[in-house]
Structures are given as C-alpha cells and as structure tokens.
Structure 1
Amino acid sequence: MSDAVDLKPALQARISELHPSLVELSEWLHAHPETAWKEHESAAKCASSLREHGFAVEENFVGLDTAFHAVAGNGPLRIGLMAEYDALPNIGHACGHNLIATMSLGAAVALAPVADELGITVEVFGTPAEEGGGGKIEMLDRGAFDGLDFAMMVHPAPVDVVRARPFAVEHWEITFTGRASHAGSYPTQGVNAADAFTVSEVAIGLLRQQLPSTVRVHGIVTHAGDAPNAIPGHARGRWYVRAGTMAELEETAAKVKRCFEAGALATGCSVEIIDESKPYSDMRTNEDALAFYRANALALGRELHVEGGEHGEGDPAADMCRASTDFANVSWAVPAIHPYIGVDSFPVLNHQAEFADACVGPVAEKSLLDGATAMAWTAVDMARSLASAS
C-alpha cells in the first residue's frame, strides 16, 4: 500500500477538479427536492453520475425503488459512503442532503482510481427516506450493509462539530376517532376528536416536568376538523419522542403513549398510534476513525466547535448540532462516524427554511469541497489502519 500521506495531495487535487461538477449536482438536487420514498429523480441522477465515473451501479437496491449501490475497486477492505438525498416537505433541502450526497460522491470518485492500491472496495449507498422514513434501517434489515468494514457520512450543520450524538427517536402517526355532529344544534351527540388532542397535549406538557433533559417530545396536529360548527369526528397528528438511549426512549415512549390514551379516555374517543418507521437508535462512534477525521478537518483549516455535552463546556452553536438519524442504526452493525460540517449559518439552524438557502452558494461549495476531501483522507487513514490490524 502507498504511504497515505503521499496519496492525500493527489486526492485533494482530484476532488478540486471534480468540484464544479459536484456543485452542479448539488444545485440540481437543491432545485429538485423530493421527499421520503419519492426521490426517484434524485437517486437516478446520483446513480448516473457514479456510473459515468466507472462505478458498477445497482439501482432499486435491496428491493427499494429509490435506493442504489455503486461499487469501484476490488480490495478486501470495504468502505461505505452514505448518500442521502431526500428533502423536507414544503421547505426543500433545509437539512442539506444535497450536500451529503455530493460530498459522498466526490470522495468516492476520487478514491476509485486508487482503491486497489489502497486495498479497498469503495461503495456508495444511495439511502432514501432519512427524514422520518428510516430508509437505512430498512436497508440494514435487508442486508444492504452486511460485510462492510467501515461506513461514514458528513452532515451539514450551522458549524463544524466532529462527534455526532444523535437522539434515539420514535415517529408516530396518531389518529383519534370520535363522532361528528352539528356543534350548535346537536353538540351532545358529538364525540370531539380535536378535544382528544387538546387533552393529550396538556398531559404531555405536564409530563415534561418529570422528563430528563435528554428527552424531547414534539409533534403537530395535521387535521382536526373542517368547520367550526361541526364537531370533528376524526383528528390526526404526527409526534416524535426522542431520548439519549434506546432504553430511555422505550421508557419515555410508554409514558407519552399514556398521554394520548388519556385524551381518548377523557373524550370518549378511540386512539390509534402507528409507527411511521422503526425506531432510530443512538449512535456508536468508531473512535479511531473519528480521530482521523478530526485531524484531517483541522489540516483543511476547518474550525471545530466543542459541544457542551462532550467536554462540559462549549458554545450554543455547537449544542444545536443534535438531531436523530437512521445512520445511527447502521453504526451498531458497522464501525462508523457521522461528523457535522458547518455552512456558517448560525443562528439559522437545520430544518429552518433559511437553512436551505445556506446549503447553496460559496460557503456551501467550500464545505462540499472540504467534506469530500476529509472523507477521502479518512478512508485512506482507515484503510492503512485496518490493513495493519489484520
């Protein structure tokens, strides 16, 4: 294997050559947002780009219409790069998945010509439905990541934070069913499904006093009637429960479900709680790979922010870099890292409409370049480390 230090300048130069086409792809994804499980054009565009660079590409991977798997090289060490490309409803790429996809593609294309020299197989996984659909969990359950030696992705954020500490999360659709009636003439004949949500939300609000700081409970009512003079017989909503660990999530979810059951009991409605996906887990980080990424990010001149939860002191911008991801489930099956790369947007945060604006333009383009380079360099470091350990 070539000296990793010697390969890094060449990889950086190659990614710089690719940068204009990567920016073009990122801007295309940004301008054509597709939500979870509907990313047909986005997946096809990314798969086509990899095929043009010599990758063997399998679309409709593991039976999922908007997943793909692209491979280059024949080395014994398998390194996987995750490409996310789903957007958020109504606010587009306000989590920067256009950058996630193109950073992974850029790193992979740069690594492909030296894959055999490094003793690796470079694999790009097109992963749909991260925003609540649990696409990677479905892929994991179907064996998509079996045999990988290492997996990584880099996620846009307001600032650079190396260590990901995602919450475990459950996603629910809540439906209350009562009985519709005229609110003026026959109110006593109605069973108000909207009131069931009101009671439930009050119960959740009171419950928060007993919940630890590592827990988040939040949701929206998506439909609760059509006219003020008609008692709604049906009401629907979507709720998330997040926690620091899977055990804490299970305990908290049971309490929150009782709040919805209380709403049903108090109003006389029935309630149905449906999982929108399998639970996202907390993250298990590979410390060796994280150290490599940190060193590479610093070498590229990135300013790394310290999160308060990691060392007891930090800054508010870094503390914002917590969410949930289905990549966390992958991290329990494959050694993995999930660092954040900043787009200099603070106080604008992920999932705000303004964050979508921050994921295109000169700052985002520099983050794309640095993120792809840092991943390619980390792959080199991990290849050398894994080879020496075997």
Structure 2
Amino acid sequence: MNADVEAAVRSIETDLVALSHSIHAEPELAFEEFRSVAKVTELLKRSGFEVRQGVAGLPTAFDATFGSGDLVLGICAEYDALPEIGHACGHNIIAASAVGAGVALATVAERLGITVRVIGTPAEESGGGKITMLEQGIFDGVAAALMVHPGPVDITGATSLALADIAITFTGREAHASAAPEFGRNAADAATVAQVGIGLLRQHLSPGQQIHGIVSDGGTAPNIVPARAEMLYYLRAETAWALSELTTRAEACFAAGALATGCTHEIRTVSPTYTELTPDPWLVATYREEILDMGRTPVPLEWEGTRPLGSTDMGNVTNVLPGIHPIIGLDSGGAVTHQPGFAAACITESADRAVVDGAIALARTAVRAATDDTQRVRLLEGVDRR
C-alpha cells in the first residue's frame, strides 16, 4: 500500500507545491490566516473531503474528514506566519504536506478501515490554536495525530519545551522629567529593574529552563516620566512542572521591579501554556524507518534529545493522545528557523521536495499504524480510555 499512497501524492505534487508557494507569498499572522485556510480547504474539497470551517469557535480553524472507518487518524496542518519575517518557520510546508498526506490516505481509507481527518490548527506561533481545539473536543475520537515541521535537518523524535507566554505591565505616574521628576513614578525603570533581576536569575536556572523577552512599550517621550511600560516574555522548561517553578521565580523579579520604583504591575497570559512534546515511541520509530527507506538521513538517535526545538502547541496534543512532530529537512544554506534566510529557503526546490517527502512519510506511517494489528488495537483502546 506504500506504492498507492506515494502515487497519490505524486499525482497532486504540482498542486501541493503551488499551495506551499501561495501560502508563503501571503503570510498571515495568528488567527488571521483566512486566505491560507481558503487555499488549503479548496484543495481538500476538490479531493472529496467534507470540510467544517470555524470549528472550536476559531474562524481560521477547520476539520476536514474523509471515510468512515473506526480508526480515526488526524493530520495536523499549520499555516500561520511570523511578524515581519513571514514563513520563517515554514508553516507553508506543514500545510501542504498535511494536505498531501490526507489526500493520499483518502485513496486507501476504505481498504484500511480508517477515517482521515486533516485538522487545520491556527496560531501555533502565538495563541495556541491546538489547545483551544483540544479543550473544545475537536481531537476527541482521534486515535493518533501526525504532522511534519521543516528544519535544516531531519529529526524523527523531535522534542520541545513547555512554554508560558506572558505580558507584564508596569503602571507608574507621569511627570515632567526635568521640571518635576520627583512627582513621577517611572514604569520604564520598573521594567529595567525587573530585567536586571531576570538577568541575575539566569545563573541559577535549572538545565532546560529558559527566559527571553522584549520591552514592547517603554514610554512616549524623553521629557515625560513613563507611566506605563510593558514587557513580553517567554518562559520555557523541559516539563510543565519545571515551568511552574520557573514562573514563580520570574514573577518575583517582576514584582521587585514594581516595588523598587513605587509602581504597580500586572501579569497576564498572552497564550495558553504549551506543554512539552512527548512523541509516541512506536510512531517515531516507524516514521524513522520510512524516511530511511525513502533515502533521507535523520540525525543520530542519541543527538535527538540533546536540544529541544523551541515550543509548540502540538506538545499539548501529544500529552493527550499518541502523536509525532518530526522535522523534515531542507537545504537552508545555513539558516535556522525564525531567520529571514530560512523563510527564503522554504520555497526552494529542496523545500518542495520536503513537502512531497513529508506527505509520503506521514501517509506511510499512518498506513503501518492501520495495518499493524497490535498497534491498531492499542490506538483504538487509547481512544476508549480518554
């Protein structure tokens, strides 16, 4: 059946590459991916999928279904871009690969006794669309969720860090910075003190814990004591528990900035908390075998766990049901994700090959899950236990 799904992907290769390039050409930010969704769902509808749009109360989320088998296999599509640097994470490739894998599996769905669902998940970069979709039951009944993400190299068992996305607002009091500074309470100074505290905290972080952020608002004019300042911070850790510990310590630094300057502060959550990726071992091993058979060379297994790859809301999915989030390699000329050079690399011939190879590899992995009696039972029983 591998030949069948590969032939199905090859038959729409031109459409998949065109889809990838079209999404790349019109990058859209979190929860604003209307053009991208229209492009993705149009190809799925042409391939016979029944598409529900705006699911989970998210206008740019969708759920496309084909087949009626008892084993439901989900392929996750992402399509949001980054501010200013566009598809520097290659979500155009993710979306096109997901469509390719979904269409390929649809051609064998009846023979396999499966239901294929291509699940469109907005706002991975910021907003956590998959988390809302999990909470709203979109993944209920899905036995396994699969997707591929582009990167400079192939990594089969990719892992990620848990993530807290927060905004810290300091509130002080305006005053003339020269004529009456004693009447002011400088919110920008509060941010500075907090940043110093965070910088000193770094020496005492546990392995795997990370803190990074920016000052998004530091005042309006040099001669006005800033009454408002805002910082946007990401806190990361290897586990949700370690993230909770880090959050407590970081919050003390933010409070210190307010206390030292006579300001007040407020911390709000920007996106739901992302949990760490916990890829399913059997699916990872199977995907690895498939890409090796296809002539790809993933990094050694012993290297995979040494450097988690940022954070993703797919981690939340893999903590609820079996799933994988491997990296499909492309020639990026030395650029890494979230660099303009990587965005440029995501519409090259190598990137187009990653679209096709990723679709085939996902489809072949899904076929093996459906045809292995032991794994099929395991996946079905997992749905019953949830």
TM-based fold match above 0.5: yes
Is 1:179 the equivalent of 2:173? yes
In the alignment, what sits opposite 1:337? 324
Per the alignment, residue 360 of structure 1 pairs with 347
Q: Are residues 1:90 and 2:84 paired?
A: yes
Matched with 1:326 is 313
| Alignment partner of 1:81 out of 64, 75, 88 | 75
Q: Is the 2:5–2:108 Cα contact (8 Å) retained in structure 1?
A: no
Q: What is the CA-CA distance between 1:346 and the residue it aligns to?
A: 5.8
Give me the identity figure in percent: 47
Please say if 1:45 is aligned against 2:34: no
Q: Does 1:351 align with 2:338?
A: yes
**2: CA distance, partners of 1:306 / 1:9:** 27
Q: State the AA in 2 paired with 1:339.
A: P
1:310 Cα deviation from its structure 2 partner: 4.4
Offset of residue 105 of structure 1: 0.4
CA deviation digits over 1:24-73, x for unaligned, max 9?
Answer: 11111001111011111111221121011100000011221110000011
Could you list the runs of 4 or more consecutive aligned residues of structure 1 that deviate by over 6 angstroms after TM superposition? none
Equivalent runs, 1:112-191 vs 2, <5 Å:
112-191=106-185
- Match of 1:26, as an amino acid? S
| Residue in structure 1 matched with residue 384 of structure 2 by the alignment | none
1:224 match = 218
Q: Secondary structure at the match of 1:122?
A: strand
Q: 1:302 to 1:240 in 2, by over 3 A?
A: same
Q: Which moved more, 1:138-147 or 1:226-235?
A: 226-235
| Conserved 8 A contact 2:63-2:119 | yes
Shift of 1:309: 5.5
Helix, strand or coil: the match of 2:24?
helix
The amino acid of 1:287's aligned partner reads P
Note the alpha carbon deviations across 1:136-160, whole angstroms, 9 max, x for none: 0000000000011111110011111
CA RMSD of aligned residues (A): 1.4
User: Judging changes above 3 Å, is the alpha-carbon distance between structure 1 residues 262 and 307 closer, same or farther for their aligned structure 2 residues?
Assistant: farther
Letter aligned with residue 213 of structure 1: P
In 2, the alpha carbon distance for the partners of 1:29 and 1:311 equals: 31
Instruction: Measure the CA separation in 2 of the matches of 1:308 and 1:33.
Output: 36
Number of matched pairs: 377
Deviation at 1:10, TM superposition (A): 2.0
Gaps of 5+ in 2: 381-386
Write the distance in 2 (CA, Å) between the matches of 1:185 and 1:352.
Answer: 45
The TM-score normalised by the length of structure 2 is: 0.95
Q: TM-score, structure 1 length as denominator?
A: 0.94
Aligned amino acid, residue 85 of structure 1: Y
What is the CA–CA distance in structure 2 between the aligned matches of 1:366 and 1:256, rounded to whole Å?
43
Among 9, 19, 27, the alignment partner of 1:33 is 27
